[in-house]
Amino acid sequence: MSHPHAHRLEPERPTLRAELRDAVAPRTVALVVAVLLLQLGFVLSYVGAFHHPVPRDVSVAVVGPTQQVADQTAAALNGIDGSPLEATGTTDAAAARADLADDTTSAVLVTSPTSTQDQLLVTTAGGAATATAVQTVLTRAEATQGRTLAVQDVLPAASGDARGLSGFYLVTGWVVGGYLLAALLGVARGARPATLRRAVIRLGAVLPYAVLSGIGGALVVGPVLGALPDDAATSWALAGVGALVVVAAAAVTMALQVLAGTVGIGLAVLLFVVLGNPSAGGAYPPALLPPFWSWLSGVLPNGAAVDAVRRIAYFDGADVGQRLLVVAAWAVAGAVVALVAARWHQLRADGRARSPRAPQAPEPAAA
């Protein structure tokens, strides 16, 4: 007689694939892969931008005793392999110095008709790396002609602004504060605002933070540390730039969150950190970066803001409006996209809530 439990089936054991799928959700795997790609992109962007800095088309004014001599010298400099310089000839030394003072040109070469030594005027406030690169290129070019250079820094960076990097770090702090604020609001209340009204409130909450952040940053680099000029006009101008930068970073991050959910935070890091920081003109100005990063410097808010801070601090705000327009465009675009996307999600949710359900049996008529 067989045992009553002899034919009881053993429970089927899950396969290794099923166990892995249960332990690690596909969404988690996708996020891990995204983080890996972001990490590799960080390495690629920073090393790609900084591993081989060389000057490209750095503007130089050549002052000669006659226009012919100035043009001939400029043409010789423009013919150097790799096009490190973009030289133009002139006989007006005062105009060339004025261009240097408002950052229209990066250096001025004053040729001497009576000696073998020429004079090179540079501004380390415009970027110590650029001044050094121009000096290196011109020293070699002069040596081939049996000539030498006397270098004069006509507009040095502030004593507390080592290599002119304070503006870069200031803008980096503002950008980080902006996207971290938006990320924090998203984590606390959901990446996607439930309604358009909540999206408006969330954007509005950014404004007082941006004002305080702009003023605080200007105070730190000015009166507190003396890294940048600390007169009242400069400090207030920097505070305004800071507020605009924070609004732009926060609005763009919020827009990315509304479009992509939590993944939007990673996209903000890609935009502002992976691409924005190495192209912003910190360690090396755009003229020394590879073409892709040099182009990014002019279109991303990081580079535009760094250039705006530098111009306000050292060049009396020359042409600063164009740089601020770039930052403002990002702020407006981020806010518009965030609001439109939030409204779209709200309409979809309302549509699902109003969608007809399965027909139900009619209620019996009242007796």
pLDDT in tens, 105-119: 999 999 999 999 999
Reported as a single tens digit per residue, the pLDDT across 64-115 is 999 999 999 999 999 999 999 999 999 999 999 999 999 999 999 999 999 9
pLDDT interval class at 190 (50, 70, 90): low
Instruction: Tell me, yes or no, whether 87 lies in a domain.
Output: yes
Reported as a single tens digit per residue, the pLDDT across 273-328 is 999 999 998 889 999 999 999 999 999 999 999 999 999 999 999 999 999 999 99
* pLDDT reading at 11 higher than 70: no
Nearest to 285 by CA among 120, 160, 151, 107: 107
pLDDT at 358: 45
CA distance 183 to 261: 10
pLDDT at 35: 87
Domain edge (last residue) among 153, 182, 216: 153
* Token pair belonging to 10: 């053993």
pLDDT at 366: 38
pLDDT interval class at 351 (50, 70, 90): confident
Domain range for 264 is: 162-351
Reported as a single tens digit per residue, the pLDDT across 260-272 is 888 899 999 999 9
Contact 253, 245 (CB under 8 A): no
Same domain, 129 and 273: no
pLDDT at 24: 64
The better pLDDT of the pair 61, 363 is held by 61
Cα angle vertex 222, ends 218, 228, to 5°?
A: 105
Nearest to 306 by CA among 170, 160, 132, 122: 170
Neighbours of 295 (CB within 10 A): 14
Instruction: Tell me, yes or no, whether 41 lies in a domain.
Output: no
Instruction: Tell me, yes or no, whether 320 lies in a domain.
Output: yes
Report which DSSP code applies to 106. Answer: S
Same domain, 149 and 198: no
Domain edge (last residue) among 135, 153, 171: 153
Instruction: Tell me, yes or no, whether 367 lies in a domain.
Output: no
Neighbours of 338 (CB within 10 A): 28
The model's pTM is 0.86
* Token pair belonging to 152: 């004069």
Instruction: Tell me, yes or no, whether 18 lies in a domain.
Output: no
Same domain, 180 and 90: no
The better pLDDT of the pair 11, 331 is held by 331
Contact 257, 186 (CB under 8 A): yes
Tell me how long the chain is.
367
Please give the share of the chain, as a percent, with pLDDT higher than 70.
89
pLDDT at 357: 56
CA distance 193 to 349: 12
Same domain, 73 and 191: no
* Token pair belonging to 319: 């042409």
Same domain, 103 and 200: no
Bridge-based pairing state of the strands 117-122 and 107-110: antiparallel
10 Å CB burial of residue 213 (0-12, 13-18, 19+) is buried
Biggest alpha carbon distance in the chain?
A: 125
Nearest to 242 by CA among 151, 153, 309, 317: 309
Same domain, 212 and 340: yes
CA distance 66 to 47: 45
Contact 254, 338 (CB under 8 A): yes
Contact 166, 133 (CB under 8 A): no
Instruction: Tell me, yes or no, whether 359 lies in a domain.
Output: no
Contact 246, 210 (CB under 8 A): yes
10 Å CB burial of residue 20 (0-12, 13-18, 19+) is exposed
Instruction: Tell me, yes or no, whether 356 lies in a domain.
Output: no
Instruction: Tell me, yes or no, whether 21 lies in a domain.
Output: no
CA distance 120 to 111: 9
Give 92's contacts (C-beta < 8 A, 6+ positions apart): 63
CA distance 132 to 124: 9
Neighbours of 153 (CB within 10 A): 14
3-class SS at 110? strand
> What are the DSSP calls for 177-228, one per residue?
HHHHHHHHHHHHH-SS-SSHHHHHHHHHHHHHHHHHHHHHHHHIIIIIT-SS
Same domain, 95 and 215: no
pLDDT interval class at 148 (50, 70, 90): very high
